[in-house]
Chains A and B, each alone.
Chain A
Amino acid sequence: MSEINDAIILQGISKVFPSRHGPPIVALEDINLTVKEGEFLCIVGPSGCGKSTLLRILAGLEQPTTGEAIVTIKEEGKPVNSMVFQEQSLFPWYTVRENIAYGLTMRGISPQECQRITDHYLKITGLGKFARAYPHQLSGGMKQRASVARAFANDPSILLLDEPFGSLDEQTRVLLQQELLKIWEGTQKTTMFITHSIDEALGLGDRVLVMTARPGRVKEVLDINLPRPRDLTIIRSQPSFLDLFHTIWFSLREEVLKARNEEMG
């Protein structure tokens, strides 16, 4: 078996936000982490633990206060990363097609190529009929499908997803998780996925990283040895899934309680 390369190396990353009242807020503290090429890493943690900040640092939208985020896989002609945002982030002024093609257009891909790639992702996300619709005409699930399609169409070296399905209803979420798995299994991109749902993290990830309450640190990293390709409805009932669920649940519960105690003084 050939050696699997590292894709992302995080070295001693911390992030401090100045605060107008009181002491500065330490969002992240000494994060060290390596993500392998082609790995699907899920990050769970109590709210406010800085998981989004960590992803934003990787996306180049924030600068770390100390440390370094190094993306070691850089493929010729491909963007380093593309992000799927938590909230509604499709441009309201562009049609679904134009939104999905956004990254390609920005990179100056030829219109024919752009059209071909966009058609492909419109088809596999089932948005073909809505290619010319504007975001306000779509349901929440369709909007997030289009956001995911926009990221995949851009064909980045690493894919960053920040609670992309957090605001969706349960049924839609499971459907979209399944679709994401299918697309991901076809491309095997290095992926970092933030969620607050243990269920989601276990269903999708190769490894799950549990973060501590603020300041966010790496609490533990668990390997999820569930076979791929996965069927979410089947793996949820497997004993190893339930064991892992409990392990993470108790690990996370401790942090959530800690965060709550801090909030209540």
Chain B
Amino acid sequence: MRTEGKIISFFSPLLLLVLWELLARVGVVDIRLFSCPSRIMKTFVPVLLSGELLYHSWVSVRRILLGFAAGAIPGMLLGLSMGLVPLVRAALEPMVAATFPIPKLAIMPLILLVFGLGESSKIFTIAIGVFYLVLINTMAGVLSIDPIYLDVAKNYGASRWNFYRTVALPGALPMIFAGFKLGMGTALLLIVAAELTAAWAGVGYWIWRAYDMFDIERMFTALVMMSVLGYLLSYLLDFIERQVIPWKTPPAQ
């Protein structure tokens, strides 16, 4: 069953590509809009080999990583405090609830005004998207910790700092990582939008430039790159998660 599953998982996307190519060749799929795998590859290989696409990818990855860190770290710290201290939670929860639903793209113009046209506006856009997801998940993670562990910590004389270090943080880590993964997904969404305006490099910029020139294949090369980046970044998070949460029960087969 498991090997069968693996074989199917490998061949099903391949089959879809073949189908796409065939339908494009017989004219069912309009190649002016959707191109086809062979044409995309013909464009992809040279831009990859010239390093052009890698340069733009790197610019985006750098923004994603910086923005992710700038959002995840404060989100985590604030989430821990809100989970552990009812007064902090009472004070901040209404504000979080009121500002979280505002689409991050709706405040892009404001971000551009405040942070200018440079790198910081893109990094901040990503940071704010990641921040809320990590904050909310961290808080939920702390609140879901069985109160028995707080009793143990109290009975065994844990200081305030040790409540964070030995109970709240490790207890919430699985949920924190769930927040990281959601945050990473959002970061990939936001980077393209953030690079739409006032950007001179990046995968998003690449897509919009290709659009301006109506170069569909070029657009698709960036989509392929985004998909690869998304896969690698989520793989990276999974890897870190396994290192940081060694006690996590392996999922039942």
CB of A91 within 8 A of chain B?
yes
Closest Cβ neighbor of A91 among chain B residues: B149
CB of B167 within 8 A of chain A?
yes
Q: Is the interface of B mostly helix, strand, loop or mixed?
A: helix
For chain B, which range describes its interface: under 10, 10 to 19, 20 to 34, or 35 or more residues? 20 to 34
Q: In the complex, identify which listed stretch (B18-26, B120-128, B155-163) lies at the interface while the others stay far away.
A: B155-163
Whether B155 lies near A60 (C-beta < 8 A) is yes
CB of B38 within 8 A of chain A?
no
Whether A136 lies near B156 (C-beta < 8 A) is no
Whether B247 lies near A85 (C-beta < 8 A) is no
Q: Quick one: which of B149, B152, B171, B247 contacts A136, CB cutoff 8 A?
A: B247
Q: Quick one: which of A87, A91, A135, A136 contacts B167, CB cutoff 8 A?
A: A91
In the assembled complex, the Cα of A154 lies from the Cα of B153 at a distance in Å of 13
Whether A89 lies near B157 (C-beta < 8 A) is no
Digit string of A125-160 for contact with B (CB within 8 Å is 1, else 0)?
A: 000000000111000000000000010001000000
Most chain-B Cβ atoms within 10 A of its Cβ — which of A81, A82, A106?
A106
CB of A93 within 8 A of chain B?
yes
CB of B43 within 8 A of chain A?
no
CB of A59 within 8 A of chain B?
yes
- Interface hits, A40-98 → B, CB 8 Å: 59-61, 79, 81-83, 85, 87-89, 91-94
Chain A proximity of B22: nearest CB distance (Å): 50
Whether B247 lies near A106 (C-beta < 8 A) is no
- Interface hits, A87-132 → B, CB 8 Å: 87-89, 91-94, 102-103, 106-107
CB of B253 within 8 A of chain A?
no
In the assembled complex, the Cα of A227 lies from the Cα of B104 at a distance in Å of 74
CB of B85 within 8 A of chain A?
no
Chain A proximity of B73: nearest CB distance (Å): 20
Closest Cβ neighbor of B151 among chain A residues: A61
CB of B170 within 8 A of chain A?
yes
Digit string of B150-181 for contact with A (CB within 8 Å is 1, else 0)?
A: 01111111110010001100110100000000
Count A/B pairs, Cβ under 8 Å.
58
Closest Cβ neighbor of A107 among chain B residues: B157
Residues on A with C-beta less than 8 A from B158 are 106
Residues on A with C-beta less than 8 A from B157 are 79, 103, 106-107
In the assembled complex, the Cα of A88 lies from the Cα of B148 at a distance in Å of 8
Contact of A89 with B149 at beta-carbon distance under 8 Å, contacts A106-B162, A134-B247, A136-B249 already known: yes
CB of B251 within 8 A of chain A?
no
Q: Quick one: which of B151, B162, B166, B246 contacts A85, CB cutoff 8 A?
A: B151
Residues on B with C-beta less than 8 A from A88 are 148
Closest Cβ neighbor of A160 among chain B residues: B155
Whether A93 lies near B173 (C-beta < 8 A) is yes
In the assembled complex, the Cα of A103 lies from the Cα of B166 at a distance in Å of 12
In the assembled complex, the Cα of A233 lies from the Cα of B148 at a distance in Å of 34
In the assembled complex, the Cα of A93 lies from the Cα of B162 at a distance in Å of 14
Whether B148 lies near A85 (C-beta < 8 A) is yes
Residues on A with C-beta less than 8 A from B149 are 89, 91
Chain B proximity of A21: nearest CB distance (Å): 22
Chain B proximity of A84: nearest CB distance (Å): 10
- Interface hits, B103-162 → A, CB 8 Å: 148-149, 151-159, 162
Chain B proximity of A251: nearest CB distance (Å): 31
Chain B proximity of A99: nearest CB distance (Å): 9
Residues on A with C-beta less than 8 A from B159 are 106
In the assembled complex, the Cα of A91 lies from the Cα of B246 at a distance in Å of 13
Chain A proximity of B174: nearest CB distance (Å): 10
13 CB < 8 A contacts A-B: A61-B154, A79-B156, A82-B155, A83-B152, A83-B155, A91-B149, A93-B171, A94-B247, A102-B152, A106-B153, A106-B166, A107-B157, A134-B246
* Sample of 17 more A-B contacts, CB < 8 Å, known A91-B167, A93-B171: A59-B151, A60-B155, A61-B154, A82-B156, A83-B151, A83-B152, A83-B155, A89-B149, A91-B166, A93-B245, A94-B170, A106-B153, A106-B156, A106-B162, A107-B157, A135-B247, A154-B156
A: which residues have CB within 8 A of B? 59-61, 79, 81-83, 85, 87-89, 91-94, 102-103, 106-107, 134-136, 150, 154
5 residue pairs, one from A and one from B, having the closest CB atoms? A93-B170, A103-B156, A134-B247, A106-B157, A83-B155
